[in-house]
C-alpha cells in the first residue's frame, strides 16, 4: 500500500491538529532518516502511523492489544499514557496488515524508548520531540542536538521525560529507564575515550 493510503486512514482517526502532528512527525522522520542513514520509506510510514490510536477510546485500544496477542504488564495497565503506543503497534498489525517488525517496534516504543533501540526507533522517538508543531520550552535546543547527534537527542529526550514524570510523581516505565541507562552508559564511554 502507498503512503497516501495510510495517510488517509490516519486522517479519519483523529482531529485535524493531531493529524497535522502525525504529518509533521513523518516529515521530520524522513529528514532524520536521510541525515542518519535510516530507511526513509519506513521512517515516513512509522511517522504517520505512530499516534494512530491516540484518540481511540480505552476499550477499542484494549481490543487491538488483545487481538495482537500482547499482554500488558500491571504497570502498563496502570499507565493510560502508554496505551496508545502499544495499541498503535497492535492496530497497524491487526487492522492495516503491517508486518514490518521495525515499523511495528518504532510505534510500540515511540513514547518510552527501550534498551537496544534500532535506528528507526531512534528516528521516530526524536522526530516526535522535534516535529514542526512542537513548541515546548527547550525545543530549539532539542532540534540543535538532533542535528548534531541522534543518540544525544534520544538521551536528551529520555532525560527530559524522566525528569518531567518524576517531578509530577508519575510512574516511569522500565523500558524508559532501560533506554536511558543504555544511552547514558554509551555516552559516558564515548566521553572517556575523548580524554
Ligand atoms: O503522543 P504524543 O503526545 O505525540 O507524545 P508521546 O507518545 O511521547 O506521549 C507523551 C506522554 O506520555 C506524556 O504525557 C508523558 C507520557 N510518558 C512518556 N513516558 C512515560 C510516560 N508516562 C508514563 N506513565 N511512563 C513513562 O515512562
Ligand atoms: Fe505518541
Ligand atoms: Fe506523537
DSSP 17: H
Angle between helices 150-167 and 16-36 (to 10 degrees): 140
Supply the pTM of this predicted model: 0.96
Q: Answer whether residue 194 shows pLDDT above 80.
A: no
How many C-beta atoms surround the C-beta of residue 188 within 10 A?
A: 9
pLDDT tens per residue, range 47-78 = 999 999 999 999 999 999 999 999 999 999 99
Average pLDDT of span 41-46: 98
Structural domain spans, the chain = 3-194
Sign of CA dihedral 111, 115, 118, 119: positive
Centroid of ligand 2 to alpha carbon of 68 (angstroms): 19
- In angstroms, what is the span from residue 51 Cα to ligand 3's centroid? 5
**Of 111, 121, 159, which is best to mutate to test ligand 1, by the most ligand atoms within 8 angstroms of its C-beta?**
111
pLDDT of 5 higher than 90: yes
Residues with CB under 5 A from ligand 2 (ion): 51
Protein residue with its CA nearest to atom 7 in ligand 1:
111
Q: Is the pLDDT of residue 191 over 90?
A: no
Identify the CATH number of the domain defined by range 3-194: 1.10.3210.10
Give the model confidence (pLDDT) of 143-168 as tens digits: 999 999 999 999 999 999 999 999 99
Q: Are 130 and 140 in contact (CB under 8 A)?
A: no
Beta carbons within 8 Å of 189's beta carbon, 6+ residues apart: none
Amino acid at each position: 500500500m502507498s503512503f497516501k493510503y495510510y495517510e488517509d486512514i490516519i486522517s479519519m482517526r483523529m482531529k485535524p491538529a493531531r493529524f497535522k502532528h502525525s504529518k509533521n512527525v513523518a516529515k521530520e522522520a524522513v529528514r532524520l532518516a536521510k541525515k542518519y542513514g535510516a530507511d526513509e520509506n519506513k521512517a515516513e510510514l512509522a511517522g504517520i502511523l505512530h499516534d494512530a490510536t491516540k484518540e481511540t477510546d480505552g476499550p477499542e485500544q484494549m481490543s487491538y492489544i488483545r487481538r495482537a496477542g500482547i499482554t500488558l504488564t500491571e504497570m502498563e495497565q496502570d499507565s493510560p499514557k502508554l496505551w496508545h503506543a502499544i495499541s498503535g503497534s497492535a492496530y497497524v498489525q491487526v487492522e492495516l496488515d503491517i508486518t514490518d517488525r521495525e515499523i511495528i517496534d518504532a510505534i510500540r516504543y515511540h513514547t518510552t524508548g527501550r534498551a537496544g533501540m534500532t535506528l528507526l526507533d531512534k528516528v521516530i522517538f526524536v522526530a516526535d520531540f522535534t516535529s514542526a508543531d512542537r513548541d515546548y520550552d527547550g525545543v530549539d535546543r532539542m532540534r540543535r542536538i538532533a542535528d548534531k547527534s541522534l543518540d544525544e537527542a534520544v538521551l536528551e529526550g529520555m532525560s527530559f521525560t524522566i525528569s518531567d514524570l518524576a517531578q509530577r510523581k508519575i510512574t516511569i516505565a522500565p523500558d524508559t529507564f532501560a533506554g536511558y541507562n543504555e544511552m547514558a552508559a554509551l555516552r559516558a564511554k564515548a566521553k572517556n575515550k575523548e580524554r
